[in-house]
Amino acid sequence: MKELKWFGSLLAVLFLAWFISGGPERYDLENDKPFIKPPSPLNTGEIYGPENTAVNPNTPVGWKSVSTKYFSVALPTDWAFNESDSSVWNSYRGEFTNGSSTIFFEYGPYATIPVPTTDDRHTFTYETVASYYATMIKPTGFMGNTTGMFIDRAPALEKFSISGYNLNPSAQNTAFSIFRTLEFY
């Protein structure tokens, strides 16, 4: 019984403190505001709120998210997505470009790896991208000109191929960053 009196006294003190500090009126005024305040910008280039539409954690800061028919990727702000006429092909095709560099993609049952894995002019590495086993392709030297990625078993047993040709080292790094932001629907 002693504990119950102590608990009742504590509730009475808390109610009195709440009532003195504004009570129900203060509660109504604060109800229109968000419960948790968003962080204030740090002037570091970070984007908060609806401007940052990228969901993938691999997305570099300041890039935009682009949704295609079957997947999404993040692109630098100066890059654009162009969709090919799908009535001509048995697969979904398009390109990402900034005017000086272009990366082509194909998604469907007939997509092929851009370079045979026996080609010694390219280095092949393997990563997990969008939860799938991906072959990354990078030119190694003379006459190697393809930068790309190939996923052999994307959703619904479709294949995915994306590649750029004759990309300079900076564009290659950008291309690999784009590849790693891939997310299938």
Do 140 and 152 touch, CB atoms closer than 8 A?
A: no
Tens digits of residue pLDDT in 30-74 = 555 555 555 565 555 555 544 444 456 667 888 898 988 889 999
Average pLDDT on 6-16 reads 88
Return the CATH class of domain 50-184: alpha beta
- Which pLDDT score, from 0 to 100, does residue 136 have? 93
Say whether pLDDT at 144 is over 90.
no
Domain map of the chain by residue range?
1-37, 50-184
Ramachandran angles phi, psi of 80, nearest 5°: -130, 160
Indicate whether this model's pTM tops 0.85: no
Lowest mean pLDDT among 10-14, 49-53, 100-104: 49-53
Say whether pLDDT at 124 is over 70.
yes
pLDDT band at 120 (very low <50, low <70, confident <90, very high): confident
Sign of CA dihedral 80, 183, 67, 150: positive
Phi-psi label, residue 156: left if phi above 0, alpha if psi -120 to 50, beta otherwise: left
- Which pLDDT score, from 0 to 100, does residue 46 have? 53
